[in-house]
Amino acid sequence: MKNEFDRRAFMRISAMSIGAGALLQFSPLAGTARGNAMARLFHQQNGEGPGSFSIVQLSDTHVGFQGPPDPLGTKAFEHAVDVINALDPQPDLILFTGDLTHDSDDPAEHAKRFKTFRSISDRLRVKKRMHVPGEHDAALDGGALFRENFGETHYSFDHRGAHFVALDNVSMGKPIVGDEQIAWLKKDLARFPKTAPIVVFTHRPLFDLKPEWEWFTSDGDTVMNVLAPYDNVTVLYGHIHRENHHTTGHARHHAARSLIFAFPDPSANEKKPLPFNPQQPFRNLGIRTVTGNTAAKPFVAGIDDVELSIRELSGTEGIQQMLKQGESL
């Protein structure tokens, strides 16, 4: 078809996680007839054609959390900010996939934690930042504080030839997207051909990863059925505090690590946070590179994980200083 996208002609994709997520780099395979047709279509729809870009995903910063298993408070989050600011070139945008704050029964305290989150994230050189809530941000008040700070809890936008969809599966106080939002999603996607690249970012997994640990979305199957006709779907999420990769149909699901503490693999018998190691304070909060090419069928991501470094700290004295600072947060 004249205006149809071809995922073979769209992009090469690679990803690096910064403690909590992924640096995704997209490059269009330009110069082909279908690639040129795709460029014309995006220009007609939003004035912007496809092009190379990169994003960083961060998740589960839990600003306000104190005590074991992580005595460092926001230090991993702050370190990730420094790592991202050192990237050259800088990413185009940053996606935060929920649990930006740790909840509190005191609305004033919770509002203070949102303010602290914003003060840290405002240090990022990248000014285009998009957010979805986690249950710790939005379950107690239906997302009121989140909306006050960041706007709507679900929305969509286009960027350099990809369509991004932010989904809220926490604000109803349970793991659900809900009929109203699913109806909105259907309408939002209706203008796109089935080969359009779709990037969904949300907090909880949209499949039953481990329901007994609340690693699921109750109507996730319904959401994925809406997305099923599309050939090139990437789902970025958090919540599980560890990396995980899963494929359903044409959709590839990628969980981001947290910036507070890690949970065990879903094959474990008990959902118990992994213990803090003062000799390796950023253990399991690392850098992940994911490389691949959507010109290949099927798309297979290559994974390389490197833990966040503490090279800038001077031995035991530096670690003790971090611990002291973390306890004061």
Report the pLDDT value the prediction gives residue 90, as an integer from 0 to 100.
Answer: 83
Residue with the bigger pLDDT between 13 and 263: it is 263
- Using a pLDDT cut of 70, give the percent of the chain over it: 71
Please determine, for residue 29, whether its predicted confidence score (pLDDT) is greater than 90: no
Comparing 316 with 34, the larger pLDDT belongs to 34
Start-to-end C-alpha separation, the chain = 58
- Does the pLDDT of residue 39 top 90, yes or no? no
CA atoms of 67 and 71, how far apart (whole Å): 5
Name all contacts of 263-270 with Cβ < 8 Å and 24+ positions apart. Answer: 263/213, 266/209, 266/210, 266/213, 266/215, 266/240
Q: Is 35's pLDDT higher than 70?
A: no
Q: Which of 11-15, 46-50, 60-64, 299-303 has the lowest mean pLDDT?
A: 299-303
How distant, in Å, are the alpha carbons of 5, 160, 327 from that of 254?
24, 21, 32
The pLDDT, as a whole number, for residue 91 is 82
Residue type for position 298 = P
Q: What's the CA gap between 212 and 110, in Å, rounded?
A: 28
Predicted pLDDT at 306: 42
**Segment 291-311 mean pLDDT:** 41
Higher pLDDT: 276 or 11? It is 276
3-state secondary structure of 147: helix
Residue 12: what pLDDT? 43
Q: Where are the domains of the chain?
A: 7-327
pLDDT at 138: 98
CB 50 within 8 A of CB 28: yes
CATH classification (class only), 7-327 = alpha beta
Q: Report pLDDT for 80.
A: 87
Average pLDDT score over residue span 127-131: 95
More confident residue, 21 or 292: 21
The mean-pLDDT minimum among 15-19, 83-87, 221-225, 231-235 falls in: 15-19
| Per-residue pLDDT tens digits for 43-90 | 555 546 666 677 888 999 999 998 889 888 999 899 888 888 888 878
Q: Inform me whether the pLDDT recorded for 157 exceeds 90.
A: yes
Q: What is the pLDDT at residue 26?
A: 60
User: For position 166, what pLDDT does the model report?
Assistant: 98
Q: 0.95 cut: is pTM over it?
A: no
Summarised one tens digit per residue, pLDDT across range 198-229 is: 889 999 999 999 999 999 999 999 999 999 99
Average pLDDT taken over every residue of the chain? 79
Closest CA to 56 of 28, 81, 29: 81
Give the model's confidence band at 315: pLDDT under 50 very low, under 70 low, under 90 confident, else very high: very low
Q: Determine the Cα–Cα distance for residues 52 and 249; give it in Å rounded to an integer.
A: 26
